[in-house]
């Protein structure tokens, strides 16, 4: 997400920051849930690739 252009007032910048922080939080929540599901459902079937 790009930063606002020049001439932006404080209210607009605060809205921009809030949207940015919410999007970052959503990514973290999805990542945490993905790992939880992987560990609960898929871990026993996962076989790491062999190093050659």
Q: List, for residues 4-48, the tens digit of each pLDDT value.
A: 556 667 888 888 888 888 888 888 888 888 888 888 888 787 777
**16 within 8 A of 2, measured Cβ to Cβ:** no
pLDDT of residue 7: 63
> What gap in Å lies between CA 40 and CA 20, rounded to an integer?
31
Which residue's structure tokens are 């459902």? 41
**pLDDT over 80 at 2, yes or no:** no
pLDDT class of 52 with cuts at 50, 70, 90: low
Query: Other CB atoms closer than 10 Å to residue 17's CB: what's the count?
Result: 12
Helical H segments across 1-52, by residue range? 10-37
Is the pLDDT confidence value at 49 over 70?
yes
pTM across the whole model: 0.45
Rounded Cα distance between 1 and 38, Å, is 29
């Amino acid at each position: 997400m790009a930063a606002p252009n020049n001439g932006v007032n404080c209210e607009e910048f605060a809205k921009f920051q809030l949207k940015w922080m919410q999007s970052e939080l959503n990514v973290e929540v999805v990542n945490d849930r993905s790992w939880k599901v992987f560990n609960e459902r898929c871990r026993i079937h996962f076989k790491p690739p062999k190093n050659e």
